[in-house]
Amino acid sequence: MSKRNQGIMLAIIGTMFWGISGPFAQALFAQNVKPLWLVGARLLLAGILLSQVLICV
């Protein structure tokens, strides 16, 4: 896969995750999840995903 196609694919995946995060957060807030916990979980997940991307590249 070329670098250009890989960049396009990563941009599309990133926008999908960004679009999903709002409704997902609202659903969690409706279940009385604390915002601070959600921020920590999102940062942890983002770090894991970024590590995997950097390892694979």
DSSP state letter for 33: -
Whether residue 25 contacts residue 38, with contact meaning beta carbons closer than 8 Å, is answered with: yes
Return d(Cα 45, Cα 40) in angstroms, integer: 9
pLDDT at 44: 96
- Residue 50, number of CB atoms within 10 A of its CB: 10
Instruction: Specify the pLDDT at position 10.
Output: 86
pTM score above 0.85:
no
Q: Kindly report, residue by residue over 1-57, the tens digit of the pLDDT.
A: 788 999 999 899 989 989 998 999 999 999 999 999 999 999 999 899 889 988 987
